Amino acid sequence: MDTTSLRGTEAPVALRLNDKAPGFTARSTAGEVSLSSYHGRWLLFFSHPADFTSVCTSEFIALSRAQEKFGRLNCDLLGLSVDSLYSHVAWLRDIERSFGVKVTFPLIEDSSMVIARAYGMLDASSENSGTVRATYVIDPDGFIRAIVWYPMNVGRSVEELLRLVEALQTSQRECALTPEGWHPGDALVEPAAVSMEDAAQAADGQSWYYRERRA
């Protein structure tokens, strides 16, 4: 694993929205992968606590089944855990054999926990090296646009992650906001007016701070 860009990262860090995602090169079930190779595409980068566990298996099955949907959003999938590459390969082969689902997106080996620490994926209160269910949506320029954490005992919602990626893309493309529960095709909302002049431009009967707009 090339950890040049992660030198000096000894403890979990607190990455924030719009931070540049820490670069890395590592071994994976699809060969060597680098964060830089995803430049120009969206990336859903996520960690899981351990191979051969029930909740993680359910997530990988769901993500694999949704991979084509993410692909239509120009979004790749990239997983990580601190288990060895050999464990990853054995687990993914067993998923295919037991459930008929072939996992084709890369799963990174991070036995040294260098990447997990750089992304703050290790729970400081944990009694072992298992990573939390951390998910980072990274944009085509390599910036973190969303961070979602689940505890080890609760599985993620793949449908919500799909919605999240599409909401981020739509909001950026349309220069608008996505309200609660937004789904593709729903109305967007304009940014709230920030001056008296802007507020005065609202149509009669329309709220100056909540103005809908069709995408």
Residue range 197-201: mean pLDDT, rounded: 70
Among 26, 43, 56, 116, the active-site one is 56
Residue 142 Rama label (left phi>0; alpha psi -120 to 50; beta): left
For residue 122, give the DSSP letter: B
Mean pLDDT of the residues in the chain: 88
Query: Could you give the percent of the chain with pLDDT greater than 70?
Result: 86
| pTM (whole model) above 0.85 | yes
Take residue 190 and report the two structure tokens written for it. Answer: 């304009």
Q: Does residue 62 have a pLDDT over 70?
A: yes
Spatial contact of 95 and 55, defined as CB atoms under 8 Å apart: no
Local confidence band at 4 (pLDDT 50, 70, 90 cut-offs): very low
Please report where in the chains the tokens 């995408």 appear, as a residue: 215
Which class for 171: exposed (0-12), middle (13-18), buried (19 or more C-beta within 10 A)?
middle
Residue range 198-215: mean pLDDT, rounded: 73
Examine the residue annotation and report whether 175 is marked as an active-site residue of this protein.
Answer: no
| Distances in whole angstroms, Cα of residue 84 to Cα of each of 62, 113, 126, 196, 207 | 22, 11, 19, 59, 55
CA distance 18 to 5: 18
List phi, psi (to 5°) of 107. Answer: -125, 115
Local confidence band at 8 (pLDDT 50, 70, 90 cut-offs): very low
Nearest to 158 by CA among 69, 27, 94: 69
CA distance 169 to 188: 12
Amino acid at 152: M
CA distance 208 to 215: 19
Q: Does residue 12 have a pLDDT over 70?
A: no
